[in-house]
Each structure stands twice: as C-alpha cells, then as structure tokens.
Amino acid sequence: MATNPSDIQISDGAKPVLVAEKISKWFPGTVALDGVDFTVYAGAVNVLIGENGAGKSTLMKILAGVDRPTSGRLLLKGVPVEFKSTREAAQAGIGIIFQELNLYPNLSISENIFVAREITRNGVVQHRRQEEITAKLLDRLEQPLTPGTLVRDLRMGQQQIVEIAKALSQNVRILIMDEPTSALTSAETEALFRIIADLKADGVAVIYISHKLEELLRIGDYVTILRDGKLAATAPARSITVPWMIEKMVGRNVNAPRHRTSAISKDEPPVLEIKNLTLPRVGSGFTLENVSLTLHRGEILAIFGLMGAGRTELFECLMGLHPEASGEIWLNGRQLLRETVRDRIELGLVLVPEDRQRLGLVQKLSVAQNITLANLNRLVTWFWLSEKREAEEINTMIRSLAIKTHSPKQSITALSGGNQQKVVIAKSLLTQPRVLMLDEPTRGIDVGAKAEIFGIMNGLAEKGLAVLFVSSELPEMFTIPDRVIVLSKGKITGQFLHDELTEEALVLAAGARQQTEHPVPA
C-alpha cells in the first residue's frame, strides 16, 4: 500500500546528494542563470519555485544533462560530474519529467515508456514484457489504462501520467518533476503524492517544481526560490508561508485579479448561443449531452469542471472539429452548420488551446512569426506581404499584452510559459474575434503571469469582447467571471452568477450527475 505523504518527515540531518555550485547559463542576449547555488537532499521533496523566466527549467535541464552550464559545477555525492546528455544523467540515476510533454502520439503507452531503451531478446523487442511492466506502473499510479492504447487517444492529464510512469520505470535516485500536476485531476494528484511519499521512504530525492503554492507546502521539505536567474531564498518548508514565498518569488506586490463591475446589456441578442449541443461518445453514452448556454458582448463566462467533464470537447464542437455532434450553434445571429475551422475564425470565433506547445505555437518560428501566422491574409495586398503593416501589428500586440521579449525575432522557445501564452492570445486577437475562447489559459504559469492573463481578459471584456474560458482551478472561479457554468459528465449541473458563488456549491455541482433544479437564467 502507498504511504500517506504526511507520514514521512525529513530529519534535520538529511544528506545532500546533488549540489549545484555557482551555476550560470548565458544565451544570446539573455542571462538565464547567474551564479545559482542549489542543494538537493536525499529522501526529501526539494521544491524549486520562481516566476516564469526565473531560470527553474534551465537549471533542471542542466541537472538532467539537456544543457551544459556556462560556468559553475555539479557535485553528485561529493564527486564533480559533467553530463553531456540525458543518457549520461540517467546512467547516474537522474530522471526528469518535463513540463511540456515529450511523447510520441503515434506510439502506444508502453512503447513510449520504453522508447530508445526497449527490452529485447536476440534482437527482438519483447512487447509483451514491456506491456506487463507498463501495466504494473499504471496500476501503481491508479490509472485504469491499457498499455497498448495510443498516446494520441489520451487526454492531457493521462498523457502526463504516462510521462510520470516513464520516469518511474527507470529506477531513478533523483527525480525531477516540472509541473507534474498541471493537467491532473484531484484524484490523480493524490495518487502522485502517494507515489512521491513512497519514493521519499526509499531514499529518492525528488525535485519538485510547481506554481501551486499550497500544494508545495503540503508535500515539500526544502524550498528554494529563484528570481531573475538568481537565488532569492531557501528555507525548510515547515518554517514558511505562502505569502512569504510570493514575496520572495515576485519581489513586488501582485495585484490579485478582481471582478470588474459588469456592463453587460441583456437587451442585446447574445453573441454566442448554444442549444442542446450533444456529442456521442465512441461506443456508448455521450461526451456532451444537451448543453445549452448564451454569451453576451462584454461578458466573461467561465466553464468549471473536473477532467473528463467535456469542457475541451465543448470548445472543439464550437470550432467545428466534431461533425458528428448535434444541436445548434448560433454566432452573431447566424447558425453554424458545416463551416470549417477557418470559416468560424473569419466569422469571429477563435480558440486559445490548452496545449499551447503542440496546438498554439510553432516551435521553430520566432515570436513575430507566431503572432502573425494565422493572419497573413489580412496583411497581404495584391499578393505582396506588407512588412510595415506586419511590424506594426506585431509591435502593437507586444506592447498591449506586455510580452517580455528582447526582440520580435527571438525564438518562441526562449520565452517563459506565461509569455508564450500571451503570444498565443496575441495571435488569436489579430483575427479580430467577437468571441474569445481560452482552454485552461493559466495552466503552468506563475502567480504574476496569471494575474496578467486575467487582467488581459478583463480589459478585452471591457472593450466589448465576449470571453469564454475553461478552468479546473476552483480559486479562478472567484476572480473575473460574470457567470460560472459547471459541467459534469457532459451535462450542465449548475449555473451561478458571480455574487452567488460558493466553493461548496461549485464542488457539489462538479460531482453531480444531473441538471440542478434551479439554474440561474442565462
């Protein structure tokens, strides 16, 4: 049986297993790390936090052999080491679970777990043996998945579980987890915490990165905070608080997003209206069943629900990705029938996807190219691209969304997660939408960046844009939405005005099975 995380306590005499001394890393035009010291203790959860761009991921890539430091050194059990590849780091017992998933969608779960280190006999891959080991790993993670399932058929949270299983399969002694719970349900998160407790009991050092600060204090033993590429603070987790962490992490006051005084006119017809939208599930049942809602100009409407509630599928239906869906979708008084994704974008409907790396950005392009990629037709006159107009549009978006980049020509991969999200939003806004949909817009970004994203959404609504966003984070429901609709198992189980929200009502509705008796009128 897995151990409860609170049952294991680190002793004051915990021994360092990995030490980073005066680590610096320079990129063209950027100092990512500046003389950072970081100590990792065996049998402990070593928390590393900081704003996006603070240098956390860069430091982890150095520890895992992805990058090499410009200066400084690593000591593994007191012996200087230098990793030239992830393979060398893995051979030394260091594994990493990246924030951005590194899976092959066309391969099965077991094939992904054993990719590049297949179990073979006489040159033949032992698929059955790999699937047996995978099944045990999935059972340990309390996931009822079939090892032969293709990764492309898994939702985001399940793909994250596969990444975790892959790391656990390598018998690591130092395990780096970069935002491991960002796409997990509460039940999956609890299962992961039990695994972490077992790893601690076995003497494994866990390096844990997350923006969920309360979560860190629950499972963490030591906390290290980076700010602007430098060491800002380090302390035992039991001696600090969330406000202390925010102060050290941000170095400034972070204004929590506030619900504005809404000026929605219900006298105007809704910009978006959905009537009895139903999406059948493969096999039997429904992914969405008789979902109806309205959205008005200048309104922010939140969709809350647990993983698997049908939230992402709702957005996919609105964008025309499920022709098998039935029901009515009205946009600006026009019923959408067989319009393509491009047609719907041109009519004023646009989506910022949950998986910004795979669906929102092109990794090989620059910041500027990503911003204008979906809008080049608006910048072309007589078959010629107006470079002046393009530059004006790009610079306007960078300024208005406060995208932190030293140049529009900078690679998109050099930006922090929060700034990458702003680029995806910028790309969407250049389509001149009437309805902006955002699927988990704050996933994997820090408290400061979250406040900025919500501030952007507030500002857009004040200018008359209709905003519809999805979140599985309960606190986000109490920030900026005018209304909150709860989905559970594909059905609307609750509707609440901002002033009527309570945590208890939201949680009950998220776990409900049928429509509440007295929903708030749309």
Average pLDDT for residues 405-431, to the nearest whole number? 87
Amino acid letter for position 15? K
- Tell me the two tokens of residue 21: 């001394």
| Residue ranges per structural domain of the chain | 5-93+172-250, 254-348+433-522, 363-425
Amino acid letter for position 21? E
Residue 257: its pLDDT value, please?
66
Residue 288: its pLDDT value, please?
94
Residue 522: its pLDDT value, please?
41
Residue 266: its pLDDT value, please?
66
- Tell me the two tokens of residue 407: 């140049």
- Tell me the two tokens of residue 266: 């219900």
Residue range 5-93+172-250 in CATH 3.40.250.10: no
- Give the DSSP letter of residue 153: G
156 band by pLDDT with thresholds 50, 70 and 90: confident
CA quadruple 270, 289, 276, 283: dihedral positive or negative? positive
Q: Model-level pTM?
A: 0.65
* 3-state SS, residue 206: strand
Nearest to 207 by CA among 232, 178, 240: 178
Amino acid letter for position 77? K
More confidently predicted of 132 and 257? 132
CA quadruple 456, 458, 462, 468: dihedral positive or negative? positive
Distance CA 132, CA 129 (A): 5
Asked if pLDDT for residue 519 goes beyond 60, the answer is: no
Q: Which pLDDT tens digit goes with each residue over 4-38?
A: 433 334 445 678 999 999 999 998 777 889 999 99
Q: Which CATH class is domain 254-348+433-522?
A: alpha beta
Residue with tokens 């990503």: 370
Q: Which pLDDT tens digit goes with each residue over 102-120?
A: 899 999 999 999 998 899 9
Kind of pairing between the strands at 491-497 and 483-488: antiparallel
* 3-state SS, residue 3: coil
Q: Which pLDDT tens digit goes with each residue over 274-315?
A: 999 999 987 778 899 999 999 999 999 999 987 778 899 999
Q: Which pLDDT tens digit goes with each residue over 229-271?
A: 999 999 999 999 988 888 888 776 566 566 666 656 667 899 9
Residue 9: its pLDDT value, please?
41
Fold matches, 5-93+172-250 and 254-348+433-522:
yes
Residue 518: its pLDDT value, please?
36
Helix (H) / strand (E) element for 94: namely: strand 94-97
Weakest mean pLDDT among 59-68, 142-151, 163-172: 163-172
- Give the DSSP letter of residue 401: T
pLDDT over 70, % of the chain: 91
Winning range, highest mean pLDDT, from 151-165, 202-216, 259-273, 323-337: 323-337
Q: Which pLDDT tens digit goes with each residue over 54-106?
A: 889 899 999 999 999 999 999 999 999 999 998 899 999 999 988 777 899 99
Average pLDDT for residues 453-457, to the nearest whole number? 90
Beta bridge partners of 205: 174
